[in-house]
Amino acid sequence: MKLTGTEDLRVQKTIEAIRTAFEQMICEMDYHEMTVKELCERAKINKKTFYRYYPAMDDLLLELQMEISSEYIKRISRYRLPEELDKVNESFFRYSVEKGEVYEKITCASGYTSIRNRMIGRVNEATWEKSAWYNNIPDWQRHMLIVYVQFTLVELYKQWVADGKKIPVEEVIQLSNCLICKGIDGFRSPAIGWRK
């Protein structure tokens, strides 16, 4: 249940407790390991209270998923694809850093692949599918392009996280832009300086 601010204070506190417990659980375990029982214990509510607001845990997950993807779509909605793919890429990394541990877990952990894929699909519908250029290329080329861009972008982010974020986000953005927009030839270019 997305809060509007007009709800009774008790309702607001209950929803916030549910959300906090859910986010803690995301950071600690994969989604398939979660139970309503444990969530309710952490939120200090009973199951009946949980089910008053959410028919199932999937509905809570969907709400979080919609919130994350909507925020990101809003952030990149002014960019034209493919012309401003570098700006979309930069926004992705900056947004990812801002969102913190819950987002990082959803983006990186294998137990959240289906959730991540639904979010990516929603973002693609709101961005690439609005591009006149994209809509004028054959289906097979669209499919190849989307796989290349989305897989590369997410995997570069996951690798940066796995490596402990040892390099500044600005460097990761520059490297990922080089790879996504210019490929291996751009990566090998002495002007970029990645052949150290």
Q: DSSP of 66-119, one letter per residue?
A: HHHHHHHHHHHTT--TTTTHHHHHHHHHHHHHHH-HHHHHHHH-GGGHHHHHHH
114-131 residue pLDDT tens:
888 888 889 999 999 899
**Residue 43 near residue 17 (C-beta atoms within 8 A):** yes
Tell me the pLDDT tens digit for each residue of 21-42: 999 999 999 999 999 999 999 9
pTM: 0.84
CATH annotation of 9-55: 1.10.10.60
Question: If we measure between CA atoms, which residue out of 109, 95, 94, 92 comes closest to residue 26?
Answer: 109
SS3 content of the chain, % helix, strand, coil (to 5): 75, 0, 25
Instruction: Give the DSSP H or E segment for 127.
Output: none
